[in-house]
Structure 1
Amino acid sequence: MKSIRITSLIAVFALVLSSTIAFAQKTEDRKVRSFESISLSISAKVYVSQNEKTSVKIKGYSDDLDEIITEVDGSTLKIKRKKNRGWNWNSRSFKKVEVYISTPNVENLRISGSGNIIAKTPIESGSVDYAISGSGNIIIDKLKAENVECHISGSGDIRLKGECKDELEIHISGSGDIEAGNFEAKVADIHISGSGDCKVYASGSITARVAGSGDIYYRGNPKDVNCKSVGSGSIKSIGE
């Protein structure tokens, strides 16, 4: 009887230990070659910094990390989940995943899920293109670029601060918003066919078209203003 109890205790201890290991958080260094763009299709927080060295670190629970792929296709780093294993694996949500990315060049960002891409440190580039087709967000606190394109076809938001030396081009066909009131651009070209709102800064000229219910607010007192709304949305100047 005593040996049975000991055996049972050992079995319970082994089960608890294996569960603890499976759900323990860890950090992995993922080896990847150089890239210039990032595509995110999982629920994760991705922190991007611009540095000379390329590195990708991923933090989360062991069972989640085992199911996440980080691979470079062309010049794009893809962060995605492994393919289904005969059942709907995509219905399973990750508990908490964080990805820390360092790269010399950051040109294009794509989100097709509910994850977020965040850059808190300065990012400098030529032409960049940001796109959201899911509910995730792109937040760039200190961006300096020549030309910037933003596309939203989902419910996620894009928030930009910094400087655009030439043109900021925006397309919103979803319900997501773009906050770029503190992102100083010379030229702004905005098209809204959805319900998302947009706030921009343009010092030279602004071209704005609204065919949906979204609103456009602009500041910077641009000299050349070409605005037209054929939907229920509005276009308003909010001064400096």
Structure 2
Amino acid sequence: MVAFFNFEVTLNCPRASYTTTMKKHFLTITIISAFIVTGILSSCRLKCVHGSGNQTTEKRKADDFKKVEISGAFKVHLKQDSTLGITITADDNLIKYISTSVEGGTLHIKSKKNFCDPGDMVINIGVKNLEEVKAAGAVEVFSDGKITAKDFKLDLSGATKVTLDLNAANVSTEGSGATEITLKGQAASHKIDLSGAGKVNAFDFVVGTYDIETSGIGHCNINVLQTLNVHTSGASEIQYKGSPSTVNNDKSGASSIKKVD
């Protein structure tokens, strides 16, 4: 299905009118996308495996990895540990369809079949050194304890939710769709590229230098110490704590940036 939209903006229109128009277009796109997804999911339910309701736990071994790539509807718990290992809890008739493999230093997690009413599918991962988490779909990622890294990257799409306690030198975050990211800890620098309706909750994540680029209706709540560089478009909103000595604000559309206590 292809949807076409006529988008017309009068340059001398009031800001409130522009904001309303932008939000109406994003709402229209969101509603149509929801109908498309609903249709796809309805079709998939005809060819899916139903969960038994009887949960079981399986332990798996893994070769060394520094990156994790996840797709599906899993709840993933990450723990920085000297012992590598994977523990999966899911319905006993579904667990065999959950694939875990390490290729080129990346742990890949995905489902081999479409699942209907699978219940919670929880994956606990022990990792020595973690550099990147890539997730798509309806994945939820949590850290059990603090994760320490030099350079750390988040690459998220869909309705992914990530909650991490993180200490790193340099952090890079890319989010598209309705991703939601909650961070606490600290970093020397954090670069954010956010599109769609993404949200970053990071008032408890103290960073020296922030570079933020957003489009759509993204929201960022951050805590910055020294430098804040912002490039926003659409109806994005950025709120920041801290007293940075430098604030560079390149915004367009109905975007806003403001300091909060």
- Normalising by structure 2, what TM-score? 0.78
Take 1:156 and 1:94, find their aligned partners in 2: how far apart are those partners? 22
Take 2:155 and 2:232, find their aligned partners in 1: how far apart are those partners? 19
Gaps of 5+ in 2: 1-50
Secondary structure of 2:72 counterpart? coil
- Structure 1 position 36 matched with structure 2 position 66: yes
- 79, 85, 98: which is aligned to 1:49? 79
1:137-195 C-alpha deviation (Å, 9 max, x unpaired): 0100x21100001111110201100010x211001112120011110110000001121
Offset of residue 132 of structure 1: 1.2
Offset of residue 209 of structure 1: 1.1
Alignment of 1:54-69 (within 5 A): 54-69=84-99
Secondary structure of 1:66 counterpart? helix
Take 1:34 and 1:134, find their aligned partners in 2: how far apart are those partners? 28
1:114-136 C-alpha deviation (Å, 9 max, x unpaired): 01010030110001001211102
Give the equivalent residue in structure 1 for 2:130.
Answer: 106
Give the equivalent residue in structure 1 for 2:168.
Answer: 145
Take 1:152 and 1:174, find their aligned partners in 2: how far apart are those partners? 8
Take 1:79 and 1:207, find their aligned partners in 2: how far apart are those partners? 35
- Structure 1 position 232 matched with structure 2 position 254: yes
- 179, 182, 202: which is aligned to 1:156? 179
Q: Please tell me whether Structure 1 or Structure 2 has the larger radius of gyration of its CA atoms.
A: 1
Offset of residue 93 of structure 1: 4.9
Gaps of 5+ in 1: 1-20, 83-88
Preserved contact between residue 166 and residue 185 of structure 2 (Cα < 8 Å): yes
Preserved contact between residue 193 and residue 213 of structure 1 (Cα < 8 Å): yes
- Normalising by structure 1, what TM-score? 0.84
Secondary structure of 1:222 counterpart? coil
The size of the alignment, in residue pairs, is 211
Take 1:144 and 1:130, find their aligned partners in 2: how far apart are those partners? 14
Alignment of 1:106-185 (within 5 A): 106-140=130-164, 142-164=165-187, 166-185=188-207
- Structure 1 position 25 matched with structure 2 position 55: yes
Give the equivalent residue in structure 2 for 1:218.
Answer: 240
Take 2:216 and 2:68, find their aligned partners in 1: how far apart are those partners? 25
Alignment of 1:3-22 (within 5 A): none
Take 1:78 and 1:58, find their aligned partners in 2: how far apart are those partners? 14
Offset of residue 238 of structure 1: 1.2
**What amino acid maps onto 1:113 in structure 2?**
G
**What amino acid maps onto 2:220 in structure 1?**
C
Preserved contact between residue 195 and residue 214 of structure 2 (Cα < 8 Å): yes
Preserved contact between residue 182 and residue 201 of structure 1 (Cα < 8 Å): yes
Over the aligned positions, Cα root-mean-square deviation in angstroms equals: 1.5
Take 1:72 and 1:36, find their aligned partners in 2: how far apart are those partners? 10
Give the equivalent residue in structure 2 for 1:200.
Answer: 222
1:63-96 C-alpha deviation (Å, 9 max, x unpaired): 11111101112111111011xxxxxx43645322
Secondary structure of 1:112 counterpart? strand
- Aligned identity (percent) is 29
Take 1:123 and 1:210, find their aligned partners in 2: how far apart are those partners? 30
Offset of residue 42 of structure 1: 1.3
